[in-house]
Amino acid sequence: MTGHEKSFRTTDGVRLVYDDHGSGPAVLLVHGFTCSAAHWAFQREALVAAGYRTLALDLRFHGRSDSPASGQRVSRLGKDIGEWIEHLELDDVALVGHSLGVSVCLAYFDLFGTERVRAFAAIDQSPKLVNDETWAWGVRSVEWTNVWDAVNGRFQWGNPALEPPMPPHVGELLAEAGSPADFPVGAVLPLLADHFTADWRDVVPTVDAPAWVATGRHSPSFPLEGMEWFAGTLPDSSLSVFENSGHCPHWNEPEEFNRELLAFLGRPLR
């Protein structure tokens, strides 16, 4: 374990590993499905340089954290965030989530509210993934008739053709942090199914902390209209659309993304 690598045990006995860098107001980074804390490298450097204590968790089943036989539910991951904040003894955190990490943050808010959260940033995630008569802005091409096929990888959901070509710096990040394509998805299909079938829309208007929604103009996963709904339904929120990005604007355009994130958090980029 390195000097920045730390861990704690949840109430159900699972060891979760996180990285802790810098000092100052705390920013907690919650990665997406098949990723890890290491995939926040671009943001960690900028946040630490700007005077923030930057903490990035490996969610259970991901990275260096345990992969237990139980807990393959987004709500359990949300509880893990609550227990992490309790372990850290923090009362005024900024939560930043990407993809699944946004849903995990919404699960946290559903369980614990916003009392200990001063700000919330959500990167390219719809609060509802399945499209139906009540919602047209979920994952592209996924409906109730084919959601189980999507979960089991029987067809390519979303529209990968929309994703811009990978910039060289993203390739370098994935070579260092690990490629999501190498993640053993088959071991966590119940978690993916739970993620796909959840509906967090009723939680969104209860998140009364200042919020920022970020998305890529060319997201292969979600239509822009859904991100506009998300930002418009959060009580105190703004929306940024990154013109040269898809699902991961924090990777594709890290300098511009970090400038906007830091502006949202209240400290300009040094």
| Span 89-105, pLDDT tens digits | 999 999 999 999 999 99
Inside any domain, residue 57: yes
Residue 1 has pLDDT above 50, yes or no: no
In a domain, 203, yes or no: yes
Mean pLDDT for the chain overall: 96
pLDDT score recorded for residue 155: 87
Express as a percent the part of the chain with pLDDT over 90: 96
Residue 210, domain CATH: 3.40.50.1820
Task: Please count the structural domains in the chain.
Answer: 1
With a pLDDT cut of 70, the percent of the chain lying above it is: 97
Cross-strand pairs, 54: 21, 27
Residue 84 lies in a domain: yes
- pLDDT tens string 184-193: 999 999 999 9
For 8-14, which contacts have Cβ atoms below 8 Å and span 24 or more sequence positions?
A: 8/83, 8/84, 8/87, 10/60, 10/79, 10/80, 10/83, 11/83, 12/68, 12/70, 12/71, 13/68, 14/60, 14/65, 14/66, 14/68, 14/71, 14/80
What is the reported pTM?
0.96
- Domain around 39: 5-265
- For the ranges 21-30, 149-158, 203-212, 216-225, the lowest mean pLDDT is seen at 149-158
Rg (CA), the chain: 17
Specify if 71 maps to a domain. Answer: yes
- 270: pLDDT strictly greater than 50: no
Q: Is residue 270 part of a domain?
A: no
pLDDT tens digit string along 44-55? 999 999 999 999
Q: What is the pLDDT of residue 86?
A: 98
